[in-house]
């Protein structure tokens, strides 16, 4: 059984994702016989593909953990949903802003999106806390034996 490997380097301004997609398209256009020739990635490209396939599961896991922690904090099922409902619009807004200024989604952009989502989540927590404090104040006005 013969084996061969082909290496490649990325051109300036080309991401690993773009290069992998271009190689997969070229292999599909060539029409290699599947029973005789197998094509696949190794090294960094293989690690990138493996981590990309697990990313949605990791995001879902992070959301579940945030929901559970916020649920324990507020002892409620609804308040965590209120807080987490602000996150999709923040993420979509950040991605649209990157598209509008024609910037690539780099690691720095990803960190910026995470920071933005964190700030939006903090603001939602503050708003829920304020609303709960106002609700408590209406139920127990100051000066009526409220501790």
Write the DSSP assignment of 12-41 as a string of letters: TT--HHHHHHHHHHHHHHHT--TTT-----
Of 127 and 49, the one with more pLDDT: 127
**Whole-number average pLDDT of the chain:** 84
Task: Give the model confidence (pLDDT) of 41-96 as tens digits.
Answer: 777 777 777 777 778 888 889 889 999 999 999 888 999 999 999 999 999 999 99
Task: Give mean pLDDT, residues 28-53.
Answer: 74
3-state secondary structure (DSSP) of residue 86 = coil
User: 74, exposed or middle or buried, with CB in 10 Å at 0-12, 13-18, 19+?
Assistant: middle
Predicted local distance difference test score (pLDDT) of residue 93: 93
How sure is the predictor about 1, in pLDDT bands with cuts at 50, 70 and 90? low
Cβ-Cβ contacts under 8 Å for 17 (sequence gap 6 or more) = 48, 52
Structure tokens at 134: 């106002």
8-state DSSP, 6: -
Distance between CA atoms of residues 45 and 47, nearest Å: 5
Of 147 and 46, the one with more pLDDT: 46
Over 70: is that where the pLDDT of 146 sits? Answer: no
122, 83 contact by CB (below 8 A): no
Neighbouring C-beta atoms of residue 27, cutoff 10 Å: 13
Distance between CA atoms of residues 8 and 19, nearest Å: 9
Q: Kindly report whether the global pTM for this prediction surpasses the value 0.75.
A: no
**What proportion of the chain, given as a percentage, has pLDDT over 90?**
38
């Amino acid at each position: 059984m013969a084996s061969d490997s082909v290496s490649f380097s990325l051109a300036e301004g080309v991401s690993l994702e773009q290069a992998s997609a271009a190689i997969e398209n070229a292999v599909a256009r060539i029409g290699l016989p599947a029973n005789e020739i197998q094509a696949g990635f190794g090294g960094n490209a293989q690690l990138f593909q493996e981590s990309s396939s697990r990313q949605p599961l990791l995001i879902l896991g992070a959301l579940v953990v945030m929901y559970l922690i916020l649920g324990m904090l507020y002892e409620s099922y609804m308040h965590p949903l209120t807080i987490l409902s602000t996150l999709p619009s923040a993420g979509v807004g950040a991605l649209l802003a990157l598209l509008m200024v024609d910037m690539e989604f780099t690691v720095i952009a990803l960190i910026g999106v995470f920071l933005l989502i964190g700030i939006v989540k903090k603001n939602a927590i503050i708003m829920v806390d304020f609303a709960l404090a106002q609700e408590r104040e209406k139920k127990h006005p100051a000066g009526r034996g409220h501790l």
